[in-house]
Amino acid sequence: MTPTVKAILANYESDNPGVKANLYRMLMQGRLGGTGKMIILPVDQGFEHGPARSFAINPAAYDPHYHYQLAIDAGLSAYAAPLGMLEAGADSFAGQIPTILKVNSSNSWATGINQAVTGGVDDALRLGCAAIGFTIYPGADDVFDMMEEIRELAAEAKSVGIATVIWSYPRGGKLSKDGELALDVGAYAAHMAALLGAHIIKVKLPSDHIEQKDAKKAYAEFDGSTQAKRVAHVVKACFDGRRIVVFSGGAAKGADAVYQDARDIRDGGGNGSIIGRNTFQRPRDEALAMLDKLVDIYQGAE
Amino acid sequence: MTPTVKAILANYESDNPGVKANLYRMLMQGRLGGTGKMIILPVDQGFEHGPARSFAINPAAYDPHYHYQLAIDAGLSAYAAPLGMLEAGADSFAGQIPTILKVNSSNSWATGINQAVTGGVDDALRLGCAAIGFTIYPGADDVFDMMEEIRELAAEAKSVGIATVIWSYPRGGKLSKDGELALDVGAYAAHMAALLGAHIIKVKLPSDHIEQKDAKKAYAEFDGSTQAKRVAHVVKACFDGRRIVVFSGGAAKGADAVYQDARDIRDGGGNGSIIGRNTFQRPRDEALAMLDKLVDIYQGAE
Amino acid sequence: MTPTVKAILANYESDNPGVKANLYRMLMQGRLGGTGKMIILPVDQGFEHGPARSFAINPAAYDPHYHYQLAIDAGLSAYAAPLGMLEAGADSFAGQIPTILKVNSSNSWATGINQAVTGGVDDALRLGCAAIGFTIYPGADDVFDMMEEIRELAAEAKSVGIATVIWSYPRGGKLSKDGELALDVGAYAAHMAALLGAHIIKVKLPSDHIEQKDAKKAYAEFDGSTQAKRVAHVVKACFDGRRIVVFSGGAAKGADAVYQDARDIRDGGGNGSIIGRNTFQRPRDEALAMLDKLVDIYQGAE
Amino acid sequence: MTPTVKAILANYESDNPGVKANLYRMLMQGRLGGTGKMIILPVDQGFEHGPARSFAINPAAYDPHYHYQLAIDAGLSAYAAPLGMLEAGADSFAGQIPTILKVNSSNSWATGINQAVTGGVDDALRLGCAAIGFTIYPGADDVFDMMEEIRELAAEAKSVGIATVIWSYPRGGKLSKDGELALDVGAYAAHMAALLGAHIIKVKLPSDHIEQKDAKKAYAEFDGSTQAKRVAHVVKACFDGRRIVVFSGGAAKGADAVYQDARDIRDGGGNGSIIGRNTFQRPRDEALAMLDKLVDIYQGAE
Amino acid sequence: MTPTVKAILANYESDNPGVKANLYRMLMQGRLGGTGKMIILPVDQGFEHGPARSFAINPAAYDPHYHYQLAIDAGLSAYAAPLGMLEAGADSFAGQIPTILKVNSSNSWATGINQAVTGGVDDALRLGCAAIGFTIYPGADDVFDMMEEIRELAAEAKSVGIATVIWSYPRGGKLSKDGELALDVGAYAAHMAALLGAHIIKVKLPSDHIEQKDAKKAYAEFDGSTQAKRVAHVVKACFDGRRIVVFSGGAAKGADAVYQDARDIRDGGGNGSIIGRNTFQRPRDEALAMLDKLVDIYQGAE
C-alpha cells in the first residue's frame, strides 16, 4: 500500500476492515493503483438509453464480456454495471477487476423522476462485487424515498464489508435545467451524498452558474472561473477532501475535451473519472488509446 | 448433455447448480431436448381474458389436466401457468414436464397498467417448478414497482435454485400503440429483462417500426426488413445471445403464419416459441399436429 | 370417507394432509356429511350492515352463540364469521362445527371498494378454524392489492394446514351494476378465485346477462336459459369441477325462492349454499325448518 | 374473584390466561373491584388538544404523576395514557394501578381523519401495562388502514397476554356531524370494535338520532327514548353483553350531568365510564368527590 | 454524579441503565457537567442549506473534524450531526464527546414538508453514539408518518440503551407562518415530543403570539410577557419539567442576542441551548469565546 492510499483509507474512520479492503482493491487496481486516482468504467447505458443507442455504434459492446475485458485491458480501477451485465461475466472475470453493482436503474420511458431498485447487497455478495452503486436525484419529489433506500442498502453493505458509491444527480422539483449543472447545486448534491455515508461520490462536472438565490451570497467572493477551481470546490464540499470524488464524462464528445476534463479533475484535486460512453462507444483501439492517455494525465504525465 | 446445451448453460456464469439444473431440465425436455430450442406452453389466458373467451372454443381445455397432458404429449419443453392451474395437476404430472409458475397476473378489468403478484417462490418450490415467470410492462407508470417485485422474487428464486423467466411487454406511458411492437422498443424491453437478471426472456415478435426519436440514428443503417433479422437484433440485445430468448405467438391465427414465425425465430437465432392460444384454442389433434410441425421447424427439418 | 368425498379431495393435488383434513372435516360434517354437498352459515352481516339491520328482526341472533348453535343444530357443514364473532364462542363450541375465519371485512360506510384485513392465519390457528375466508372484488381499482393480500394469506394458511375460501364478488371499475351478476362476469370471477389457489369458491348466482363485449362471441352458442345451466357453467369455469363451488343466497327472500336456488345449484353440479340472512333473520324454528328442507334438497330428496 | 367477574371473564372464551389475568386486574382493582363495573381515567388530552387547553385550568395536572395518583386515590379501575405520560410514572406507581397504553394518537392540527401509531406492544410489555388502547374512526377514508393496524397490534398483544381496548369513534366519510353520535351509528361502531376482537369497547353515549336510511326500518319499533335504553342497545350490539363496554364522558360539564350519565350507563347495563376532562380539569378535591360519587352510583348506592 | 443530575435521571423512570448511562454521559460531559444544563453543537446545516451557505463563511468548518474539535475544546455536552459527518471523525474522537446521530434530514429543495430517514439505530450503535436525533413537523400533512418513524426508531433505541432526542418544529397544514413560533404552538409541539417518549426535547424559543383560537381561553390569564416566562411554560408542558428541554438559537445573529436567549432559557428553567450556526459560522476564536460566555451564563455567573 502506498502512503497516498493509506492516507485516503484513513479518512474512512468508521468502516470495518471489509469495506476498507474493498476500497483498497479499487485504489490499488490497474495502472493507477496506488496513486489515489481512479478511472471507473460504468455501463448502465443499456438501462438508460436502450441497447441500440448504446451499442450499435460499436457492436462488440453488446457482449457483456467486452466491457469487463476493456476495463481490464485498459488497467482501470473498477467496472460498474447493473445486475444482468455483471452476472453475465461474473465467473469468467472473477477477481480480475473490482466490480460495482449498480443497484438502481431508470430508463428512457420513465414517467417520474425516480429509479427502480434492481439489485441488492445479497447480489453484490454472491457476485463478488467490491461496492454497490446507487443514484439519487436531489431536488426530485421522490428523493426522500431514494435516500431511504440507499440508507438501508448502505447500512447493509457496510455491515458485510461492501463499499457504497452514490451517483448524485440533481434533477426535478424546483431546479431549472441549467441548475442541474450549477456549481452550488453540484456541490450541494455531492455534500448530500457524503452525508448519506457514501464512500465514493460521483457527480457531474459543474458549470459556473449559481442556481440558488439564497446561495449567491455564499459564492459572492468565490472564484469559479476555471473548471479546476470548481472541481476543487466540489471536493471541499465532500468533507474537505475526506471522501473520494469522481466525475462523470457525460455524453460522447471529442477526445480533447475528455482529456481537458481529466486534467481539470486532477488539478482540482478530484479522484478521477467515471467514463462510459466516451469509451465503449468508440472502437476498442481508440478507447484503449484514450484510456491510456487518461491514465497518463492522472499520473501527472500530461 | 449436448454441446449446444452445455454452451448455453455456460453463459449463466453466476448461477448455482440448482438454477442450472432447472435450465437443463427445460433444455433437455421433450422432442427439442438437447437442441437449444424450446417450445413452452403458457396458459394464463384464464386470468387475462376469462375462462369462456379462453376455453369455450375447445371445452376440454377447461380442465387443467388438459394442458399438462398436451405439453407432455407434444413433447414440449415446459408448461407455464398461474398458481391454481398448476396446483390442480401438480401431483398427477409431477416430474413429467418442467413447470413455470406465473407469479403475477392481470385481467380484462384492470384499471391500471400493472399486475397482481399471485404466486411466490415458496409456491414454486412446493409445486416442484423449474422456474417462476413474471411480466413487466416497460413504459408503464408502475414499472418501477414491477421491477422491484421481480428483483426480490428473482433473488429469492436464484438462492433456492429456481430459474427466472421475464415476460417483457412494453405498454403505457409515452409509448404509442404501434410503439408497443416497435423493433427498438422490443429490443429495449428484452434488454431490460436481461439486465434484471432473467434467465429466459419472453418478448413479442417486433415489427419494423422505430418508435423512439432518439433511437432513429442508431437504427439508420440497420436492415430490419425481414422478421428473422429483427429477431436477430432482439437476440443481440439480450447480451449478444448469452440469454435464452423466446417469442410469443400472439392471438390465435392461421397455422401458416405460426409456422412462418417459428422459421423466422429459428433463422434469427431465437431460442423458440411460447405458444398458447394457437394451441389450446384448437382441437387437440390439430394442436398436436401444429406443435409437431413446429418441433420439426426448430429441428431444422422444414 | 365416502367415495364422493374421496374423489373431491383427490382434486386438491398440491395440498398437504393438514389442508385435506380440514376440507374433509367440512365435507364430512353434519347432515350432508359424505355427500360432497355443503351448507355453510356465514355471519358477517354485522360488519357489512351493522348489528340492528342484521339482528333486530331476530334479537336472539345478537348473541354469537346463537349462530354456532344454529349451525350445529341444523347439521350444517361449517360456520363462517369475523374474528370477534368466532372468539366469543370458540371454547363453548370447540370441535362441534368446523369454522371459517373471515379475514377481511368491509362496512356500510366504506368510501372505497376494498376491505380491511381483520384477521390472520395465526388467529385461525389459535381458534381451531378449518379455513380462512377472504373477499376479492374483481373489477375494483384495488383488486390487485386484495389479490396480493390473499396470495400471502393463502400461502401461509396452506403451509399450516388451513384451507382457503375465496368470496369472489365482481364490483367497481368498468363493470356495470347489472354486470356484477352477469354470467360471463361471474364465471370469470370464479375462475380468478380458482387461479388464486382457493380450495372453496363462493360466488353469487349469475343472471343470464352477458356483460363483456369481447366475451359475447364465446357465449354465442351457450344456452344459459336456466339457472341450473348457468350454475354448471360457473362450475366448469372452476377447473372443470375440480374445485368446490358454493353459491350465496343474497338478501332475505321467500322460502320458495331459496329452495329453488338450491335445486338449481344441485342440478347444475354446484357444491352447495352459503346462506346467512335467509336463516338468521328468520325465527330459529323457521330457520331450522328451512335448513332441514335445504338439506333434503341437496340429498336429492326434493 | 367474585361471581360477577368470573362470569365476565368466562365470556372471553378464546383468550389465554395472560389476557384474562390482565382483565381480572382491571375488574378487581379499586373501589369497584369485583362489581363488574369500571371507571377508567384517560389522559390523552395533551395529544388531542395540547397541554394548556388540557391542564392550565388545573396546573397540577401538568405533572404525569398527578394522574397516576388521582386514579389510585380515587380507587379507579385503570389509567390510560400515551407513551410518554406512562413512562414518566411507570416506576413510581408500578403495580399500584393497571395501565392502558394508548398506542395511537391524533392532534388538533391533523389534516386527515386518522391517527399516528405512537406506541407498541413491546412498549406495553416493558411498562407493565394491562392493555393497549387504540382508536378507530369508522366512516373515515382511512379506517381500513386503522383496522389493519389494530388487527396486527391486537394479535400481538393477545399472544403476550395483554388486553385490547378499542375506542370506536365514528367520523368522516358519509357520516353527518349529528350522525357521529346517532344511536344506529354508535351501535354499529361498537359492534365493529367487538368484531375486531376488542376485549373492552369504548364509545360515546349515543343520541336518539337515527342516521342511516337503510337502518330506519330496523329501528322502527325500537324505544330509544331514554339514555339507559340506548346504552342497553349498544351493550346488546356488543355480542349481547359478552364484551365489556364503557362510555366516555365527553367535554367537561356540570357534575349533575356526569352523575346522570353514570346512572344511565349503569341502568342500561353498561360496564362503566371512561372519564378524563371531567376529573383532571377540576381541582383534585372536587375530582375526588365526583369520582367518589360515581363509584357510589356504580355500586348502586345512588 | 451530582444531586442535580441524579434528580434529572430519576425522572426517566422507564429507562434501562443503558439509556440512563447515555443521558448521564451528556449531563456529566464538559464544562457544564453536573449542572443539569447542556450546550449541544448541531451541524446539520449541510443537509438543510448546503455546504457553501453553511461553511463558506468559515471554511475550516468544511472539515468534519473541525466540529468535533470545537465541541470538545468548548467543553460542550454533545455534538449532533448526520451520518456522514459523524462517520468522518468517529474514530479520531471516539469517546471524547458524546454524539447524537441525526437520523432524519431535509434539504433546501424538498417539495414536501417531511424528511428522509438517513440513519438508523444500528448506525448509532456502530458509531458509539449516545443518542439518536429526529425531527417531527407537527402540523404537516405527513406528521403521522414521521411520528410512526420515530416511534419505531425510539423503541429500538431504548431497547439497546440509546437515548432519543426529538426536534419538534411546527410547520405546514393549518399553521400560519407566525404560528410556527407561537407560544401555544411551541408548548404543544414540545408536549407531543414528550408524549412520543423523547428523553430530550428540542424546540425553538417561542414568541408571545397565541395561534390557536381554541387555546386563547387557556392563555387568557397567562403572563407571557418575558421570554423567560415563555420558556418556563414550555418546560411545564414537558411533563412539568420531568424531561430535558433545550432551545435552538436559530439563524446567526448578534452575540448579545445569543447571550440574552441563554439567560432567558436559564431563568425559565430550560436545560440549555442547541446552538449551531451561531458558533461554526463565526471564526473559531470568536465561537469559543461565545461558548465560553454561554457556559458562564448557564453556570449562573452572568
- Reported as a pLDDT band with limits 50, 70 and 90, residue C207 is very high
* Among the listed residues B224, B228, B222, the one whose alpha carbon sits nearest the alpha carbon of residue B264: B228
Does residue C283 sit at the D interface (CB-CB below 8 Å)? no
Residue with C-alpha cell 492516507? A7
The cell numbers describing A101, all together, are 453493482
| Distance between C140 CA and the closest CA of chain B, angstroms | 8
Q: For chain A, what percent of residues have pLDDT higher than 70?
A: 99
Assess contact for A181 and A211: CB atoms under 8 A: no
pLDDT in tens, C138-167: 999 999 999 999 999 999 999 999 999 999
Q: How many residues does chain A have?
A: 302
Residue B178 burial (10 A CB sphere; 0-12, 13-18, 19+): exposed
Closest partner residue to B63 (CB to CB) among C141, C155, C240 is C240
Q: How many residues does chain E have?
A: 302
> Are the beta carbons of D88 and E242 separated by less than 8 Å?
yes
Q: What local confidence, expressed as pLDDT, does residue E302 receive?
A: 77
> Has D62 been annotated as catalytic?
no
Instruction: Give how far Cα E251 sits from Cα of A247, B97, E276, E280, Å.
Output: 34, 72, 9, 12
- Reported as a pLDDT band with limits 50, 70 and 90, residue D147 is very high
State the average pLDDT over residues C222-245.
97
| Distance between D189 CA and the closest CA of chain C, angstroms | 8
SS3 A132: strand
Q: For chain A, what percent of residues have pLDDT higher than 90?
A: 97
Q: What local confidence, expressed as pLDDT, does residue E217 receive?
A: 96
Q: Which residues of chain A have pLDDT under 50?
A: none
Q: For chain C, what percent of residues have pLDDT higher than 90?
A: 97
Identify the active-site residue in D24, D169, D188, D298: D169
Does residue C59 sit at the D interface (CB-CB below 8 Å)? yes
Assess contact for B9 and B152: CB atoms under 8 A: no
Tell me the C-alpha distance between B115 and D152, whole Å. Answer: 26
- Which residue ranges form the domains of chain A, and what is each CATH number? 3-298 (3.20.20.70)
Identify the active-site residue in E66, E68, E169, E298: E169
Q: What local confidence, expressed as pLDDT, does residue E250 receive?
A: 66
Chain A residues within 8 A of B224 when measuring between CB atoms: none
Residue A3 burial (10 A CB sphere; 0-12, 13-18, 19+): exposed
Task: Find the residue in B nearest to A128 (Cα).
Answer: B14
- Reported as a pLDDT band with limits 50, 70 and 90, residue D250 is low
- Single-letter code of the amino acid located at E106: S
**DSSP state letter for D205:** P
N- to C-terminal Cα separation, chain A: 25
Closest partner residue to A85 (CB to CB) among B144, B195, B233 is B195
Does residue E252 sit at the A interface (CB-CB below 8 Å)? no
Q: What local confidence, expressed as pLDDT, does residue C250 receive?
A: 66
ipTM metric: 0.97
Q: How many CA atoms lie within 13 A of D140 on its CB side?
A: 19
> Are the beta carbons of D198 and C84 separated by less than 8 Å?
yes
| Distance between A146 CA and the closest CA of chain B, angstroms | 12
**DSSP state letter for A205:** P
> Has A169 been annotated as catalytic?
yes
Query: Does the pLDDT of residue D252 top 80, yes or no?
Result: no
Tell me the C-alpha distance between A126 and A198, whole Å. Answer: 22
> Are the beta carbons of B188 and A126 separated by less than 8 Å?
no
Tens of pLDDT, residue by residue, chain B (302 residues): 899 999 999 999 999 999 999 999 999 999 999 999 999 999 999 999 999 999 999 999 999 999 999 999 999 999 999 999 999 999 999 999 999 999 999 999 999 999 999 999 999 999 999 999 999 999 999 999 999 999 999 999 999 999 999 999 999 999 999 999 999 999 999 999 999 999 999 999 999 999 999 999 999 999 999 999 999 999 999 999 999 999 997 667 899 999 999 999 999 999 999 999 999 999 999 999 999 999 999 999 87
Chain C residues within 8 A of B57 when measuring between CB atoms: 218
Does residue A212 sit at the E interface (CB-CB below 8 Å)? yes
pLDDT in tens, C237-285: 999 999 999 999 766 789 999 999 999 999 999 999 999 999 999 999 9
Assess contact for C202 and C246: CB atoms under 8 A: yes
Does residue E134 sit at the D interface (CB-CB below 8 Å)? no
Chain D residues within 8 A of C146 when measuring between CB atoms: none
Instruction: Give how far Cα C222 sits from Cα of B47, C228, E146, Å.
Output: 21, 13, 57
Identify the active-site residue in A37, A158, A202, A204: A202
Closest partner residue to D195 (CB to CB) among C53, C82, C90 is C82
Does residue E90 sit at the A interface (CB-CB below 8 Å)? yes
SS3 E211: coil
β-pairing verdict for A272-274 and A244-248:
parallel
Cβ-based contacts under 8 A for chains C and D = 129
DSSP sequence for chain D: --HHHHHHHHT-TT--HHHHHHHHHHHSSSTTTTTT-EEEEE--HHHHH-HHHHHTTSGGGGSHHHHHHHHHHTT-SEEEE-HHHHHTTTTTTTTTS-EEEE-EE--TT-SSS--EE---HHHHHHTT-SEEEEEE-TTSTTHHHHHHHHHHHHHHHHHTT-EEEEEE---STT--TGGGG-HHHHHHHHHHHHHTT-SEEEEEPP-S----GGGTGGGTT----SHHHHHHHHHHHTGGGTSEEEEE--S---HHHHHHHHHHHHHTT--EEE--HHHHTS-HHHHHHHHHHHHHHHTT--
Instruction: Answer whether 0.90 is exceeded by the pTM.
Output: yes
Is chain E adjacent to chain B, meaning 3+ CB pairs within 8 angstroms? no
> Are the beta carbons of D187 and C57 separated by less than 8 Å?
no
Chain E residues within 8 A of A170 when measuring between CB atoms: 109
| Distance between B220 CA and the closest CA of chain C, angstroms | 40
> Are the beta carbons of C57 and D236 separated by less than 8 Å?
no
Chain C residues within 8 A of D194 when measuring between CB atoms: 84, 88
pLDDT in tens, D71-107: 999 999 999 999 999 999 999 999 999 999 999 999 9
Q: What local confidence, expressed as pLDDT, does residue B7 receive?
A: 98
Q: What local confidence, expressed as pLDDT, does residue A253 receive?
A: 80
Query: φ and ψ at B274, to 5 degrees?
Result: -120, 110
Query: Does the pLDDT of residue E69 top 90, yes or no?
Result: yes
Q: Where are the beta strands (DSSP E) in E89-197?
A: 99-102, 104-105, 116-117, 131-136, 163-168
Tell me the C-alpha distance between D130 and D81, whole Å. Answer: 12
> Are the beta carbons of D114 and E144 separated by less than 8 Å?
yes
> Are the beta carbons of E214 and D82 separated by less than 8 Å?
no
Residues with Cβ within 8 Å of C264's Cβ and at least 6 positions away in sequence, in order, are C205, C226, C227, C228, C231
Q: Which helix (H) or strand (E) segment is D277 a member of?
A: helix D277-280
Chain B residues within 8 A of A122 when measuring between CB atoms: 155, 159
State the average pLDDT over residues D110-129.
98
User: Chains that contact B by 3+ CB pairs under 8 Å?
Assistant: A, C
> Are the beta carbons of B56 and C219 separated by less than 8 Å?
yes
Query: Does the pLDDT of residue E170 top 70, yes or no?
Result: yes
Q: Which of A32-36, B298-302, C208-212, E61-65 has the lowest mean pLDDT?
A: B298-302
State the average pLDDT over residues D177-196.
97
Does residue A145 sit at the B interface (CB-CB below 8 Å)? no
